[in-house]
Structures are given as structure tokens and as C-alpha cells.
Amino acid sequence: MALFYFLLPVQRCPAIEFLPIRSFVMADLIPPPLPDLFMSIAGKTILITGSSSGIGAQAALQLARAGATLLLVARREDELRQVQRDIATVGGRAFIYPCDLTNAAELDACVTRLLDEHPRIDVLVNNAARSIRRPILEALDRLHDYERTMQINFVAAVNLTLKLIPRFLEQGSGQVVNISTMSTQVPIPLFSAYLASKSALESFSRSLAVELGDRGIAVTTVYFPMVRTEMSGKTAIYKNMRMMNAEQAAGWIVEAVDKRPARVSSPVGALGSVLLSALPGPVIELTRPFFRRMDQKLASKLKKG
């Protein structure tokens, strides 16, 4: 994680544009020139879940600025209305669909309305999620932690995707952007329920790409590092940790829709996933003390104020 932030200024350096390395290492992190962005996004209808706050709300705003029509889904209607107003202020267009995606009947009714009211939906961004930070030893009698995270982070995302696939096939094109986390690319402790649900979503994304990629359906997985939002704000010791802000993170979703890559990731996350698949035992043994020390340091910083 520290290495990611160390590399951040290098990743953003304009000179990188001219290096061959950009194309395969840094490409995902550097915003494309504005005119291309408008051409690839303008006119698209984009459904984004979890758009009442945080990264989802910011991504909706940025995509609307680039000329897309946004379909906003989350539970909190007032917050969705505010995002809709913000989008109108920048001259964009958005429709809101308040819905608890963990309620199958509500999700069904919401998708029926979306499909009835919009003859074309180009992109589904599965961004709505919940995170739980708890050691496995404190979750021995809390199977519901695993059920609740799976319900929103995996089942709801898969349910929405399955319901939109017929429309994408009918249109001859469509894109599913699934939001995951850099923490599945490196062996992070204390988030077993959250990370298991995100890993399940990543695996589903791969199957979808393999089975339907040649029928016009693009699939992108976005691996965010830590981002300052309501979600990360729930963990007190993260108060003093350096993080991306929601606007920067939203840029990664814009990048996903603009370029339609298989993955949007930090170079450190990409390297982490290679090392973890090649040498899982040694990587876990070597990084365990680092993550323990990091948590201890953050806890003592918090105590000092």
C-alpha cells in the first residue's frame, strides 16, 4: 500500500506519456485526452448502483459531465435526488431508482422499470457494496457477516447482470463494470467476509468475459486502493491513513467506461496479484508482519490524536 502512494506521483507524471512502459503498466491510471473521452462516453446510458454517496456519486457526476445519461440506484432517495440535482447543475441528465438491492422483489421491480423506461442501457456499474472489518476469531458466531456481504456485493451484482444480459445481447453490445478492491490482490487481514464476496464477483466477471466477450459484452473489474468515503470512514484507525479521494477514484470508473479494459488497477495491485498467484505461501508469510505493524502504527497515531 505504501509503495502505491510512493509511486502515485510517478504514475501521474506527464512524461510517462512518452515512455513505452505507459502502454502496459501505467495506462489504467492516466486519464485520456478529453475529446476522446467525450466521444466514447457521450450518448451512453449508464446504470450505476451505490450512486447515493462516495465513489458512485462522483462517478455519476463525471460520466454525466462527459455526456452520458445516468440511471442512479441506491436505497437513500434524498441522497439520490441530490446527486440528480448536482448532475442537472452541470447540464447533465439523470433518473433515480431508490431500491434496496438485497431485497429480491425490490430489485425485480426496479429492473422492470429500468428496462421499460430506457430502450437502451449501455453500461452497468456494479458499485453498491458494504464492507465489514472484523478478525475471523471474532466472527466465529457471526456467519451473517458473510451472508450480508455476499448478498449485496455478489448476489445483487450478479442478479442485476443476469437481468441486463438479454438487453445487451439484443443491442449487440453492453458493458459490465464490477467494482472490487486492491485488497483482493494482496493478502490483507481482517476483511474476510468483504474480500470473499469481492473475489466471488471477480471470478464471475472472468466467466462472463470468457462466455460472452465475443458477443459484444465487455467486462471490466476495477481494483480500488483505499479511498476516503463513508465506507472507509467507519474504521477509526484509518483516519490518519493516506488515501485517494472519491473524485480521483471516480476517474477510474470513467476510465473503465472510456477504454473498456479487462482491468483497472494500480501497478502495485497488479504486481501483488502476480506474486500472490505464483508464490502464495511466501507472500503471505512475508507480508503478515508488515500489515500487523501498519495497523499498530495507525492505532497509536489515532491515540495520540
Ligand X SMILES: NC(=O)c1ccc[n+]([C@@H]2O[C@H](COP(=O)([O-])OP(=O)(O)OC[C@H]3O[C@@H](n4cnc5c(N)ncnc54)[C@H](OP(=O)(O)O)[C@@H]3O)[C@@H](O)[C@H]2O)c1
Closer residue to ligand X (CB): 53 or 84: 53
Q: How many residues bind ligand X (CB under 6 A)?
A: 29
| DSSP secondary structure string for all residues of 135-154 | -GGG-TT-HHHHHHHIIIII
Closer residue to ligand X (CB): 53 or 287: 53
Cβ neighbours of residue 252 under 8 Å, at least 6 residues apart? 28, 29, 222, 224, 264
What type of residue is 287?
T
Query: Could you tell me the smallest distance in angstroms from the CB atom of residue 153 to ligand X?
Result: 7
What's the rounded Cα separation, in Å, for the pair 295 and 241? Answer: 10
Closer residue to ligand X (CB): 53 or 273: 53
Q: Decide: is 118 part of the binding site for ligand X (CB under 6 A).
A: no
Q: Decide: is 226 part of the binding site for ligand X (CB under 6 A).
A: yes
Q: Decide: is 201 part of the binding site for ligand X (CB under 6 A).
A: no
The correct pick among 17, 117, 230, 285 for binding ligand X (CB under 6 A) is: 230
Closer residue to ligand X (CB): 118 or 130: 130
What's the rounded Cα separation, in Å, for the pair 152 and 143? Answer: 15
Query: Could you tell me the smallest distance in angstroms from the CB atom of residue 299 to ligand X?
Result: 18
> Strand order in 123-126's β-sheet?
93-98, 69-74, 45-49, 123-126, 174-181, 217-224, 263-264
Helix ranges (DSSP H) in the chain: 2-12, 21, 34-41, 54-65, 77-89, 104-117, 143-149, 157-171, 192-212, 230-233, 246-259, 267-278, 280-304
Closer residue to ligand X (CB): 49 or 62: 49
Closer residue to ligand X (CB): 152 or 264: 152
Query: Could you tell me the smallest distance in angstroms from the CB atom of residue 96 to ligand X?
Result: 11
CB 299: neighbour CB atoms within 10 A? 12
Closer residue to ligand X (CB): 34 or 243: 243
Closest Cα to residue 40, out of 51, 48, 49, 32?
Answer: 32
Closest Cα to residue 71, out of 120, 33, 109?
Answer: 120
Q: Decide: is 101 part of the binding site for ligand X (CB under 6 A).
A: yes
Query: Could you tell me the smallest distance in angstroms from the CB atom of residue 18 to ligand X?
Result: 31
What's the rounded Cα separation, in Å, for the pair 293 and 107? Answer: 42
Site map 172..191 versus ligand X, x via CB under 6 A: -------x-x----------
What's the rounded Cα separation, in Å, for the pair 104 and 76? Answer: 17
Q: Decide: is 97 part of the binding site for ligand X (CB under 6 A).
A: no
Q: Using the rule CB under 6 A, give the single segment among 23-31, 185-193, 212-220, 228-236 that binds ligand X.
A: 228-236
The correct pick among 41, 74, 125, 132 for binding ligand X (CB under 6 A) is: 74
What's the rounded Cα separation, in Å, for the pair 223 and 252? Answer: 9
Name the catalytic one among 5, 146, 194, 223: 194
Q: Decide: is 81 part of the binding site for ligand X (CB under 6 A).
A: no
The answer to whether residue 194 is catalytic is yes
Q: Decide: is 113 part of the binding site for ligand X (CB under 6 A).
A: no
Q: Using the rule CB under 6 A, give the single segment among 129-137, 159-167, 273-281, 289-297 that binds ligand X.
A: 129-137
Instruction: Let me know how long the chain is.
Output: 305
Q: Is the separation of the CB atoms in 96 and 74 below 8 Å?
A: no
Q: Decide: is 220 part of the binding site for ligand X (CB under 6 A).
A: no
Q: Which residues lie near ligand X (CB under 6 A)? A: 49-50, 52-56, 74-76, 79, 100-102, 127-131, 152, 179, 181, 224, 226-227, 229-232
Active-site amino acid positions? 194
